[in-house]
Amino acid sequence: MTDPNNLDHGGLPPSMDISLWRTLDAAANRASEGLRVIEDFVRYGQNDSFLTTELKSLRHQLDSTLQRFDRSQAIQSRDTFGDVGTTVQGKLEQSRADWSDLLTANFKRLQQALRSLEEHAKLIDAEVAASFERARYLTYSLEKMVMTTVAASGAFPEVSIYVLTDGRADGPSFDTFVAKLVEAEVDVIQLRDKNLDDRTLLARAEALRKRTAGTATKMILNDRTDLAKVSGADGVHVGQEELTVSQARSVLGVGKLVGVSTHSIEQARQAVRDGADYIGIGPTFPSGTKTFDAFPGVKLLREVAKEITLPGFAIGGIDVSNVTEVAEAGIRRVAVSGCVTKADDPGAVVRELRKSLTLDSPNS
């Protein structure tokens, strides 16, 4: 399609030329406008530089495909006043119930426009049509990333305390301990026990479900998507070598949370692409709960804080003595184990952590 005046239109009558250009022009405008609305929301509304970059790269791909049309030909064919569609407008187009409605409407606009570009381009150039098709598929992934990120940001408070606990010495002491955490309004409790047999672990999970049901505290199971499903947990946490986000989600069903451990900025970006609901970021400091060879530390926290708005929980050796360093790196959600599970007064530690994360930090 290098010479727009000499196109093979598949034997279209000449009168079709102008209508084809009008269609392509209108669809190209619709696609670009829909994409801009989404990009503006993510950029200015969410301050999410990673998603902004992903959307920008789709815009560039779209622009380079559109450049293969002669825009002057398209503009010449434009007849806004003669467009019968400009006066046919549904009432619903003038109002949006919320951000989700706004984003959905603009993703749909973008996808429909790309489909129209693709189908009409097939009359002219199969390669260009295929490029529009690729762009449309990209929008499906972007829609998932954007919608999940924005919804997840609302699912976890801006300052959040997430506690990982094992099954404790026995059922009653586990129950007493988690009751204290719920009373202290911990945001998330993760059951993480690598030693209990399945039935005992399930019994602890069921006890945790009872304690957290009807409260603001979410219940997550570590590693065990199967037991998360059976116990009715709010979600599961998976590591880099475990089930993928989509595999865990296909077991748990929709409406459940899937969190992923990340140890580098690329893993954090991938978790967003995969549609995770939150990420663990660490290890931040040496931990008494788990041993590590390498520590991405506060440097990784800073990197994530700078570009990703999907909720991220700093993890690894965090306690009241160093939590301010986490806040200073721009992260106000922490996942802790030892400093709470070994404390005489777990509620007091939770309150201290929350206080430090709530105070204004100089670099955030």
Ligand X SMILES: Cc1nc(C(=O)O)sc1CCOP(=O)(O)O
Binding residues: 190-194, 222-223, 242, 261, 287-290, 317
Q: Long-range contacts of range 251-254, CB-CB < 8 Å, 24 or more positions apart?
A: 251/225, 251/226, 252/225, 252/228, 253/229
Letters for 323-362 (x = contact with ligand LCLJCK34 by CB under 6 A, - = none) are ------------x---------------------------
Between 311 and 346, CB nearer to ligand LCLJCK34: 311
Report the number of secondary-structure helices (H) and strands (E) in the chain.
14, 8
CB of 244 to Mg ion, least distance (A): 13
Between 116 and 222, CB nearer to ligand LCLJCK34: 222
CB of 337 to ligand LCLJCK34, least distance (A): 9
CB of 137 to ligand X, least distance (A): 32
Size of the site for ligand LCLJCK34 (CB under 6 A): 16
Q: Which helix (H) or strand (E) holds 55?
A: helix 49-66
Residue type, 185: E
Residues 156-175 close enough to bind ligand LCLJCK34 by CB under 6 A: 162, 164
| Residue 163 interacts with, from ligand LCLJCK34, ligand X, Mg ion, none (CB under 5-8 Å by kind) | none
| Residue 313 interacts with, from Mg ion, ligand LCLJCK34, ligand X, none (CB under 5-8 Å by kind) | ligand LCLJCK34
Residues 178-197 close enough to bind ligand LCLJCK34 by CB under 6 A: 190, 192
Contact 323, 339 (CB under 8 A): no
Backbone angles phi, psi at 219, to 5 degrees: -115, 125
CA 180, CA 138: separation in Å to the nearest integer? 46
Residue 222 binds ligand LCLJCK34 (CB under 6 A): yes
| Residue 336 interacts with, from ligand LCLJCK34, ligand X, Mg ion, none (CB under 5-8 Å by kind) | ligand X
- Can you tell me whether residue 50 is helix, strand or coil? helix
For 89, 231, 243, 275, 276, the CA distances from 247, given in Å and listed in that order, are 41, 18, 6, 11, 11
| Residue 318 interacts with, from Mg ion, ligand LCLJCK34, ligand X, none (CB under 5-8 Å by kind) | ligand X
Pairing label, strands 278-281, 257-262: parallel
Q: Which helix (H) or strand (E) holds 30?
A: helix 14-40
Between 45 and 239, CB nearer to Mg ion: 239
Residue 287 binds ligand X (CB under 6 A): yes
Residue 190 binds ligand X (CB under 6 A): no
For residue 221, how many other CB atoms are within 10 A of its CB? 28
Angle at 334 between CA 300 and CA 270, to 5 degrees: 45
For 188, 336, 353, the CA distances from 349, given in Å and listed in that order, are 15, 10, 6
CB of 343 to Mg ion, least distance (A): 24
Letters for 304-343 (x = contact with ligand X by CB under 6 A, - = none) are -----------xxxx-----------------xxx-----
Tokens found for residue 79: 């007849």
CB of 307 to ligand LCLJCK34, least distance (A): 19
Q: Which residues contact 26 (CB under 8 A, 6 or more apart)?
A: 83
Between 83 and 158, CB nearer to ligand LCLJCK34: 158
Give me the residue whose beta carbon is nearest to ligand X.
Answer: 282
Q: For 339, which DSSP code?
A: H
Alpha-helical runs (H) found in 156-189: 171-183
Binding site for ligand X (CB under 6 A): 164, 261, 280, 282-283, 287-290, 315-318, 336-338
**Where do contacts with ligand LCLJCK34 occur on this chain (CB under 6 A)?**
162, 164, 190, 192, 222-223, 237, 239, 242, 259, 261, 280, 290, 313, 315, 335
